[in-house]
Chains A and B, each alone.
Chain A
Amino acid sequence: MRKLLFFMPLAVFLILGVVFYLQLGKDAQYMPSALVGKKVPEFTLVSLQDDQVYTHKDLPDTPYLINFWGTWCPACHVEHPFLMELANSGVPIVGIDYKDQKDLAVQWLEQKGNPYQVILMDEIGNFGVDMGVTGAPETFVVDRSGVVVYRHQGVINAENWPEIKGYMK
């Protein structure tokens, strides 16, 4: 019994060592989305292109992406060409013009091209809050049944696309 007690600190040290070692290399910035596994929240937003009112009922019934972007966001400039590639290969993307000015957004699309099936304006950012968005770009994968299955914070690129694509079903 005495001898066992003597080795206790070593045992505790080893257990803690293993626990801490397993935490190494994990992305400390990663934050799970509260929305994964839930339906896309209800909304009423105006479209950028034709000023029509859209609700959550107008969303596609195939798997698609919801992409939050804004002309004020430098990383969105980086992401844009890859979104064009995705759109050209037939991936449906719903764009949310997040906390942006309409004229700037229209100008951006004219200059750089439009990868979005539909673009909805979230000028105040309330829909962003409902989606748990913390900034832009941020992308959600919605599956066939309208449930959010994945959230990606930051730029989508050729490197991380295969993983995101895996959720589109």
Chain B
Amino acid sequence: MMLIRNVFLSIAMLLSLSVIAQEQMTFSSELNKTRYQSLVEELRCPKCQNQNLADSGSGIAVDLRELVHQMIEQGKTDQEIVDYMVARYGSFVLYRPQHSTATFLLWYGPFILLGIGLLAFISVVRMNRKRRGRDL
């Protein structure tokens, strides 16, 4: 019983960590707030390799969150904000990679492999059917 409680407690504490990393911010509209949330979740913290801006407590993440906040309130579009970050920190900051020749395999590789698998499957089935036809 104690063990279960401890496990629950530690899970609750882990979940609250991401909340600690956020400052109080005021937004002029609910939409801006939603946009802010989705942007800081999708942008990667350039300092701490495997955290997004929302989760990171590092100095640069705090600054970049504030910049995203400012740019949203200034009326910049999501694309403009993402471009701003990529121009400074490279495509590293994107958790969702852009579509380009460099990321072609990343985006479409799985579908190409799926196609190859499908072709192999069909040819094996056909070969088997032919052989069975001969045996009969």
Contacts and interface: CB of A to CB of B under 8 A. Distances in A.
Interface of A: 28-29, 31-35, 99, 125, 128-135
Given A129-B64, A129-B67, A134-B46, A34 B90 contact: yes
Q: Which secondary structure dominates where chain B touches chain A?
A: helix
A99 B63 CA distance: 11
B114 interface: no
B89 A34 contact: yes
Is the interface on chain B under 10, 10 to 19, 20 to 34, or 35 or more residues?
10 to 19
A34 B47 contact: no
Contact of A131 (B47, B59, B88): B88
Contact of A134 (B60, B86, B87): B60
Interface string B17-58: 000000000000000000000000000001101000000001
Contacts of B108: none
B63 A32 contact: no
A132 B47 CA distance: 10
Given A28-B49, A29-B49, A31-B46, A132 B88 contact: yes
Contacts of B92: 31-32
